[in-house]
């Protein structure tokens, strides 16, 4: 029987668990979180899809688990994630999906990377924009030409979420090395998760001939949903606009709208099932590998950290998850 571990049962971890109810084969799930009430909420979401074909065992810590899982999903906060990766690799897990932002400390990337290499594990990072059901349509429109990518909105959580957009831009442009700069507002914005912070302002990037810009403004424009944002991608004479909340793709050419199309966003409770099923059949899920994503994460961390330290010189880690 396939054994799957979920480490961290907050909002994302609970959705990962719910997704396992979509798998057809029998599975054994290790649900790991130090907070019993968090595990209970995750189990309640699993019950909404009538549970799994197998058994769920609950633990407070990874070191309580006796046998290595076949696959582990690490959905802890960023501050605890590197330790969880090391423990799972030591336990013998050889396939992991990690939530983002990966880690808060520069040294954690080296420690986790060493543990992954020594274990010979396959590790992917849950940057999901390239897994959208109609992402192939976006790839058709954006060909081998300079790509200009811009995402903007109000209160959409740039520090936490911009890695999704950076990953999408790099994937579409096929670029390798990125340089990032930030022009952030001078305030420490409390994030939804206690002990972490957000930023407003602008993050800019270049990768060869390709350009990137992410803008996060404070307050809301009219009555737009919180966190809504618009993605504009230009590639010579073609411009594509994606509305996050509307789930709409608009194609412009020659200054005129050519088409409007539905562009659905995959729910985590669906996407995780696709990834797990692919891994179990020996395939490669549509997610970035750890080595690729870690490089991009480090560029982001090195841009955010000076901003946070300018506001609080006592910080020794980047407080983003």
pTM: 0.95
Domains belonging to the chain, first-starting first, are 2-128+269-288 (3.40.50.720), 130-264 (3.30.360.10)
Q: For the segment 74-113, what is each residue's pLDDT rounded down to a tens digit?
A: 999 999 999 999 999 999 999 999 999 999 999 999 999 9
* Sheet hosting strand 95-98, strand order edge to edge: 54-59, 27-32, 2-7, 71-74, 95-98, 122-125
Closest CA to 118 of 152, 98, 88: 88
Q: For the segment 132-176, what is each residue's pLDDT rounded down to a tens digit?
A: 999 999 999 998 889 999 999 999 999 999 999 999 999 999 998
Question: How much is the average pLDDT of 62-78?
Answer: 97
| pLDDT at residue 6, rounded to an integer | 98
pLDDT(223) > 50: no
∠ CA(121), CA(126), CA(130), 5° rounding? 115
| 101: preceding bond cis by omega (within 30 degrees) | yes
CA distances (Å), 195 to each of 77, 188, 304, in order? 10, 11, 16
Cβ-contact 4, 70 below 8 angstroms: yes
Q: Under 8 Å CB-to-CB from 295, ≥6 apart: which residues? A: none
| pLDDT at residue 227, rounded to an integer | 77
Cβ-contact 289, 123 below 8 angstroms: yes
* Backbone region of residue 208 per phi and psi (left: phi > 0; alpha: psi in -120 to 50; beta: other values): left
pLDDT(221) > 60: no
- Give the confidence band of 220 by pLDDT, cuts at 50, 70, 90: low
């Amino acid at each position: 029987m396939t054994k799957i571990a979920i480490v961290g049962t907050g909002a994302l971890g609970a959705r990962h668990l719910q997704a396992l109810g979509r798998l057809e084969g029998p599975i054994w799930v290790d649900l790991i979180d130090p907070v019993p009430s968090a595990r209970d909420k995750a189990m309640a979401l699993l019950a909404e899809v009538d549970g799994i074909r197998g058994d769920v065992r609950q633990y407070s810590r990874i070191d309580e688990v006796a046998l290595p899982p076949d696959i582990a999903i690490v959905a802890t906060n960023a501050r605890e994630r590197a330790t969880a990766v090391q423990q799972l690799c030591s336990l013998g897990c050889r396939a992991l999906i990690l939530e983002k932002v990966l880690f808060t400390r520069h040294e954690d990337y080296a420690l986790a990377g060493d543990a992954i290499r020594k274990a010979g594990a396959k590790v992917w990072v849950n940057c999901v924009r390239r897994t959208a059901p109609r992402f192939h349509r976006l790839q058709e429109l954006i060909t081998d030409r300079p790509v200009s990518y811009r995402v903007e909105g109000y209160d959409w959580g740039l520090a936490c979420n911009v890695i999704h957009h950076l990953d999408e831009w790099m994937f579409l442009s096929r670029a390798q090395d990125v340089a990032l700069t930030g022009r952030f507002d001078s305030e420490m914005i409390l994030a939804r998760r206690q002990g972490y912070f957000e930023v407003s302002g602008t993050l800019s990037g270049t990768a060869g001939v390709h350009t990137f810009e992410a803008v996060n403004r404070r307050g809301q424009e009219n009555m737009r949903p919180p966190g809504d944002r618009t993605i504009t991608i230009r590639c010579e004479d073609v411009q594509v606009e994606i509305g996050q909340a509307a789930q709409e793709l608009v194609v412009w050419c020659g200054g005129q709208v050519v088409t409007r199309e539905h562009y659905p966003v995959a729910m985590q409770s669906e996407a995780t099932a696709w990834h797990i099923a692919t891994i179990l059949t020996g395939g490669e899920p549509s997610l970035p590998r750890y080595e690729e994503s870690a490089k991009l994460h480090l560029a982001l961390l090195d841009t955010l950290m000076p901003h946070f330290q300018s506001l609080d010189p006592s910080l020794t880690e980047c407080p983003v998850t």
